[in-house]
Amino acid sequence: MNKLHTCAGLAALVALPGLAAADGPHSLTGNVGLVSDYAFRGVSQTAGDPAIQGGFDYAHASGFYLGTWASNVSEAMYDESLVGSGTGSANLEWDFYGGYSGKVGEDFGYNVGLLKYYYPGATDYDTLEAYAGVTWKWFGLKASYSLDDYFGVPNSDGTVYWDASFSYELPAKVMLSAHYGWTRFSGAGNGALDYEDWKIGVSKEFGGFNFGLAYTDTDLPAAHVKGENVTDGRWIVSVGKAF
């Protein structure tokens, strides 16, 4: 679900020269992007508003990697009074992750790691997940397991998010992607929160930028934040660049 005015800092990355660097087995890359709406697992995190996002990744030739990524979110969604006894709120999601990935042969890949979602000012929403995924040609399957309460839901550690994906290159180097997700909540009485989400989109690189158009939706009941139904289907336009 994922600013000390960090958005301004992320925007400044666009002005940097090529960031990608390699020194023997080590590599460092950066990315920055703008989306018309930040949807996480089908739910808008910005109440229908745009988001600027970016991050850095370190990778070693052995398969080990570390990274960080951030995005603005709607403060109205990340208010601690909604989920606990806190009084703070957050307008930034800041993620930290690390893990190991590799391949077996040409077509089979695997990836395991930990991901921490951090919300400065509203730590009741902080969440740590362990994840494991496999890919085969155009298909992927990944499971994320919450090691503490899932984004502020009481007694929800052990919640699992299943993510099935498909990616295929169409003519003219247009990438087609599709995704289905299922959030299965843990904890007494939390089963009623289980939901599904799905997404389909296309993207294409042009002039060093990656442009995308996607549609995402969920089977959740309506939930309004700042007058926006954050669980409803929505079109999302994006543009991003890797360095």
Per DSSP, the residues of 168-204 read EEEGGGEEEEEEEEEEE--STTGGGG-EEEEEEEEEE
In whole angstroms, what is the distance from residue 75 CA to residue 150 CA?
18
pLDDT in tens, 171-212: 999 999 999 999 999 999 999 999 999 999 999 999 999 999
The helix or strand, by DSSP H or E, that contains position 8, with its residue range, turns out to be helix 6-12
Q: Does the structure show a pLDDT above 50 at 12?
A: no
Of 122, 127, 120, 126, the closest CA to residue 4 belongs to: 120
Q: Does the structure show a pLDDT above 90 at 8?
A: no
Q: Does the structure show a pLDDT above 80 at 2?
A: no
Entry pTM: 0.90
pLDDT in tens, 133-170: 999 999 999 999 999 999 999 999 999 999 999 999 99
pLDDT in tens, 122-138: 999 999 999 999 999 99
- Burial string for 203-229 (b: 16+ CB within 10 Å, else e) reads beeeeeebebebebbbebeeeebeebb
**CATH class name, domain 6-242:** mainly beta
* Terminal Cα-to-Cα distance of the chain (whole angstroms): 25
Q: Does the structure show a pLDDT above 90 at 88?
A: yes
**pLDDT level of residue 70 (50, 70, 90 thresholds):** very high
Domain ranges of the chain: 6-242
- pLDDT for position 194: 98
Q: Once rounded to an integer, what is the mean pLDDT over residues 99-103?
A: 97
The helix or strand, by DSSP H or E, that contains position 128, with its residue range, turns out to be strand 127-136
